[in-house]
Each structure stands twice: as structure tokens, then as C-alpha cells.
Amino acid sequence: MILEGDTVRLRPFEERDLEHVMEWVNDPDVTRTLLVGRYPMTRTMEKAWLDERLKGGTQEVAFAIETKAGAYLGGINYFRIMSVERHAELGLVIGRKAEWGKGYAREAMSLFVDYGFEQLNFNLIYLTVLPHNPRAHKIYASLGFREEGRLRQRIYRDGVYSDLISMSLLRDEWQAIRGR
């Protein structure tokens, strides 16, 4: 399945994506605002992660994000999927720093949230964001995600403890935003 927007395309991961992931997965500028990147990732470790997704061996829905011209940008996924409760956690990364601030993350999120509610039948999508990632917080809020609370001093990075902000969006809220 491929999801297309005006400027981005979400598609299943492919083996060729490993090279692109390796460009950012150990870059502290990229991983500083993510919940990954604390430890160095080897090519072997990333290949194992990718291979699991290619063979469908996880309870995760993951897509690569690329421009409409086919340039790899990053990835987006649902994990911690709870089928009875019909909710999942959402994760996103735009790994190419030169592409930050161009609206790709917002469009990818919008496509993926719509897919989660309309195709995967979720009732709730949630995520967490670090306080020192105001760009991401602004994107999430602009799509209708509401702050639910904070997990106090949950993350330790660069010698400092940080809160973790929990945000969520309900299906009926999304449908109201989309005029459905």
C-alpha cells in the first residue's frame, strides 16, 4: 500500500532504505529529540530491524517517507498496537536535516493518522514528545493532538532529565477536523 499526499509518499520500507537510515540513525542532531539514538546503531542492528519489517514479523505498521520525486526523508510507524482497545502509538522521524521545516512531517502525519483511523480502525492514536522539540509539538497540536499529561523526568539525555509529554487524538476529533 502507498499513501500519497501533495509533497510526500508513504510506502513500505525496502532494502535500499537501509543506506538512508544509516545516514541519520547515529546523528545526535536527529536523535536528540527522539526516544531512540541513545546507543550507537550498527549496520547489522539496523538491517535486522528492517528485515523484521520486510518479512512482516512485527506487530508494527511502518512506512518510509519520501518526496513525490522519490527522495527518502525518514519513517513513520504505529507500534504498541492494541487491537481490542483499538489504539496505537505513533512514531515519526524526518532523518534528512536539510529537509526539516518544509512541511513534510506534517503532511506525512496527516496521511498516516487518516490511514490509522479510516483503514486500521483505531479509535485513539497517541504519541510522546520531548519538551525540547517544540517544532514537533506544534505539528502534533496543529493536527488536533491534545496534551494529556507529562511523565516527569522520564528521559535522561545530555546530563539532564526531561519530562515526556503525552499527546493523543481520538477518531471523532479527527473526523470533526476533517469535516466528516
pLDDT digits (tens, 9 = 90+) for 86-145: 999 999 999 888 889 999 999 999 999 999 999 999 999 999 999 988 999 999 999 999
The CATH number of 3-126 is which of 3.90.1150.10, 3.40.630.30, 3.40.605.10, 3.40.50.2300?
Answer: 3.40.630.30
Separation CA 60–CA 163 (nearest Å): 26
pLDDT digits (tens, 9 = 90+) for 13-56: 888 888 888 777 777 777 677 666 566 777 777 778 777 777 66
b/e per residue 131-157 (b: at least 16 CB within 10 A):
eebeebbebbeebbbeeeeeeeeebeb
Residue with cell 537510515: 21
Per-domain residue ranges of the chain: 3-126
Q: Cα 16 to chain center, whole Å? A: 20
